[in-house]
């Protein structure tokens, strides 16, 4: 499957997602409520077989917080990027994909630790690097008067 065909295939699995072309990888913007279902289908469907989650990144877009998932099919050699967002900065949360890819366990903990995004049904969601006295230092609105030098 080329990138265009992959985008069409993913749209056939979930009509509410949007695909972006002209990038290195096929990008799929998926509503947060559909993320877990689409991720499961992408792994289990024999036509896609995305068996390798190699990166999860948390993003602060300013008004919204988001999560970016990089998936690879070792069987077919294609890569896809799933992106989802929430406008809820007070209680950001997404469904965990640890039941789909075990690698997500530490990657989701890192996102939680640095951005405060919670993952529903995560088996051990706790801070990975920082203790609870810290806020969430990768948020754009983070303030630390002691450790961060400002002009």
DSSP 100-121: T-TTHHHHHHHHHHHH--EEET
Domains in the chain, number: 1
Q: Specify the residue for token string 């949007």.
A: 18
Q: Is residue 60 included in any domain, yes or no? A: yes
What pLDDT shows up at residue 45? 96
Q: What is the pTM of this model?
A: 0.93
Q: Domain range for residue 29?
A: 3-120
- Contact yes or no for 142/136 (Cβ under 8 A): yes
Q: Is residue 63 included in any domain, yes or no? A: yes
37: tokens are 């279902």
83: tokens are 């992106």
- Taking 70 as the threshold, does the pLDDT of residue 149 lie above it? no
60: tokens are 């602060």
* CATH label of the domain that carries residue 46: 3.30.460.80
- Residue-wise pLDDT for 89-118, tens only, equals 999 999 999 999 999 999 999 999 999 999
- Residue-wise pLDDT for 73-85, tens only, equals 999 999 999 999 9
């Amino acid at each position: 499957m080329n990138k265009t065909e992959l985008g069409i295939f993913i749209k056939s699995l979930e009509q509410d997602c949007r695909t972006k072309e002209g990038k290195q990888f096929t990008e799929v913007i998926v509503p947060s409520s559909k993320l877990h279902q689409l991720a499961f289908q992408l792994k289990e469907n024999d036509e896609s077989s995305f068996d390798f989650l190699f990166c999860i990144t948390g993003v602060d877009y300013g008004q919204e917080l988001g999560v970016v998932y990089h998936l690879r099919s070792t069987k077919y050699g294609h890569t896809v990027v799933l992106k989802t967002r929430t406008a809820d900065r007070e209680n950001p949360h997404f469904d965990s994909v640890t039941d789909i890819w075990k690698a997500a366990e530490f990657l989701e903990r890192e996102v939680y630790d640095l951005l405060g995004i919670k993952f529903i049904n995560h088996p051990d969601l706790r801070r990975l690097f920082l203790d609870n006295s810290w806020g969430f230092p990768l948020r754009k609105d983070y303030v630390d008067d002691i450790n961060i030098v400002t002009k």
